[in-house]
Amino acid sequence: MSTLLSKDLNVNDLLRILTNKCKIPLSRALPVASTFLQNGLQSAETIASKNQQELTALCPNLTEQQTAKVISCFKTASRKRRAGKDSDLLNNSASKSRRRKARENDERESADLYSDSKYKIDMILDEASLSDVKVVVNRAPVLILFSVVSLSHQYPDFGIASCLSLASAAASVSASAKGASLGVNSSIYDIHKELREGYKTLKVLGQIEVAVLKQGERNGYWGLDLEAMAKARAKQDGSENELLWIKPDSVYSYLVRSFGKDGLRAVAGAFELLIRSWEIAEAQDSMTTNEADQNISDQNKRWVSKLWSWYVALRPEIEYGLRGWGQKGELSCSKILTRRAPEVKSDN
């Protein structure tokens, strides 16, 4: 008996069926696949056993015609499984053992990726040690690192692995928008915008909107890899409906290569001191205005609104336009520290 159609349909399996066989747009197929998994509908048989009324109640975003098509497709899948022809449904000639091993590898990789201890940055937080530190780097890793540090304060429950993925997604969105403004790969920017539709989004640096994927039952989100999804779409080989997300290990390695280990520790520390100062200042300000019970997320909104302007002011100076594309410039930790909040006077 095939594991794919009896017990082990995962989200990508369901999305292939819903989009390729049922012809449901990906933006609608995603919540349907999630609903199926949440309700234990993980095989063709269990999905096919639902009548139209039950399926409509479960998936109100589907039209009547789409609901009927889903039932029909999964009934066909169930019959093919019993006839030993289930491999045709997923267009997958790999053996059961290979598929099972691939899933096991994916599960091990996913568990390892969640380990925040792998990505911990030993920040330098001593102002005297930071004052003379300058790093020559291009803008993309600066945007990513600043996003990582700011996200870790906005969403402390997410963990650094999630922040790395989201920050890289933000850099990709920013780069595609910049390219379009310069007349470079404007079609990619349009595809990115289209691919974002239908997904939950989250703002990074208070401005960059990224499409996200929930980390199963864990806290936090992964940033969708729209660039990889756009490339898969261009191939038209059936892989265009897979959800691709940015792995934090590759982002962390990129930051280490870009800044160097010592540079990464220093710049991350400067960004940390910058944001801490505004958190403290706003918390003290809340106390002085009798808003001590104000929710911290409300306080965050004030300094979060400054993030993009800080990034623009602090990022390396490069040549304007295409000549500056990918160019490196100097990033100064002392300049970052000048953006800290002014000291809040006590009432004494």
From start to end of the chain, where are the E strands?
Answer: 134-138, 201-204, 208-214, 221-223, 328-332
Which of 8-12, 16-20, 72-76, 88-92: highest mean pLDDT? Answer: 72-76
Question: Over 317-336, what HEC string results?
Answer: CCCCHHHHCCCEEEEEHHHH
Asked whether the beta carbons of 249 and 239 are under 8 A apart, the reply is no
Least confident of 24-28, 39-43, 286-290, 327-331: 286-290
Q: Reply yes or no on whether the pLDDT at 343 is more than 90.
A: no
244, 239, 271: which is closest to 165 by C-alpha? Answer: 244
Q: Reply yes or no on whether the pLDDT at 220 is more than 60.
A: yes
The Cα–Cα gap between 188 and 168 comes to: 17
The Cα–Cα gap between 202 and 222 comes to: 10
Q: Reply yes or no on whether the pLDDT at 15 is more than 50.
A: yes
pLDDT > 70 fraction of the chain, expressed in percent and rounded: 73
The Cα–Cα gap between 36 and 114 comes to: 24
Band of residue 162 on the pLDDT scale cut at 50, 70, 90: very high
Q: Reply yes or no on whether the pLDDT at 110 is more than 60.
A: no
Higher pLDDT, 301 or 75: 75
Q: Reply yes or no on whether the pLDDT at 273 is more than 90.
A: yes
Q: Tell me what the mean pLDDT of segment 246-253 comes to.
A: 92
